[in-house]
Amino acid sequence: LDFYPSFEVDDDPSSGFAVGVAPPRFSQPYWALHNRLGMLVETHSWKDYRTRVRATHDVLVGILAEARTKAGGWRKAGLEVDADVALGPGEVALTFDNTDEKRTIDFLGYHYTRAPSAVSGTLRTTYDESRPEVWKVPLLPAVKPALVVRAPKAGYLVPAGYAALVRPRLVAHGVAFSLVAAAVARDVEVFRASKVTFGARPYEGRMTAKAEGAWVRERRDVEQGSLFVSVNQPLGRLVMHLFEPQAPDSFVSWGDLNTAFEQKEYMEGYVAEEVAERALRDPKVAGEFAAALKDPELQKDPARRLDFFYRRH
């Protein structure tokens, strides 16, 4: 198959399948970002141990047999892509979605029935493996860019305070970087988050984060000890997946930089009440507060009501 056979609607064979581009946390797209071949060998847990070991063995033997005659060509192709390292300031797609194109395919399955389940409360699919049949199911065969970002002209700067966190990860990925030897003031772009949503529960030991926002131009002091990571290197696209905050496998998305979104200072409630009383003497602030209170969620949230004035203090 040239697609991963996961139903578009969980447990519903009639929903069909879709060709997809997996994020780089998975092995085959990760190595593609290294300009190398990647392969997923699916040895499913429903198979017994002997079958899974045999399948893995046979795949490795097959790959090595191919490599006897084709490894030189594979290496040459990879090195040629490595040499073409200039991303430039153009647009780069980091995630993909399906187009509206759809066609019906023949898929080798088994006869099945769907009936309400007393356990889950939803429809349950039951297969009869004694009755093989060909399914006529939809396939979404084409993809289109979903998250498209503009590559930086040169690369990404990591503030000195985060260098100790980011540096070992860059080393682990084989990404080239340099150290800023002396402080300098520069015109740069800074990602300003307008909204950050954290995962409902830990994922792979991390509290993930989803950031909304935009890059804005600012004058910043680049401290000594900051890191500079160029996009004009063989792993330039991998660099973008790591540093673009909205990419699904970025440092931001995986929760590495959650401290940037923590509120460090605060105002005690009794102090905020006094500040609010003084602030409300200003008709402009009073009008803004009245308009904000039209939000039912704000109306019933004492902390958010006080925060309205803390943010204006």
The predicted pLDDT at position 264 comes to 84
The predicted pLDDT at position 88 comes to 67
pLDDT digits (tens, 9 = 90+) for 295-306: 999 999 999 999
> How much is the CA Rg of the chain, to the nearest whole Å?
26
pLDDT digits (tens, 9 = 90+) for 232-247: 999 999 999 999 999 9
Q: Select the more confidently predicted residue: 2 or 144.
A: 144
Q: How far apart are CA 308 and CA 235, in angstroms?
A: 44
Helix, strand, coil percentages (3-state) for the chain, rounded to 5, are 35, 30, 40
Across 146-150, average pLDDT: 95
pLDDT digits (tens, 9 = 90+) for 72-130: 999 999 999 888 876 767 899 999 999 999 999 999 999 999 999 999 899 999 999 99
The predicted pLDDT at position 2 comes to 83
Which residue type sits at 109? G
Cβ atoms of 224 and 184 closer than 8 Å: no
pLDDT grade, residue 155 (50/70/90)? very high
Quick one: tokens of 262? 């923590």
Across 272-300, average pLDDT: 94
The predicted pLDDT at position 85 comes to 73
The predicted pLDDT at position 87 comes to 73
pTM of the model: 0.84
For residues 26-49, b (16+ Cβ closer than 10 Å) or e, as one string? Answer: eeebbebbbbeeeeeeeeeeeeee
Quick one: tokens of 112? 């099945």
pLDDT grade, residue 255 (50/70/90)? very high
Which residue type sits at 285? V
Cβ atoms of 35 and 84 closer than 8 Å: no
The predicted pLDDT at position 266 comes to 84
Which residue type sits at 228? F
Average per-residue pLDDT for the chain? 94
Cβ atoms of 145 and 93 closer than 8 Å: yes
Cβ atoms of 97 and 143 closer than 8 Å: yes
The predicted pLDDT at position 84 comes to 82
Q: How far apart are CA 248 and CA 96, in angstroms?
A: 11
**Proportion of the chain above pLDDT 90, given as a percent:** 86
Across 50-55, average pLDDT: 95
pLDDT digits (tens, 9 = 90+) for 18-40: 999 999 999 889 999 999 988 88
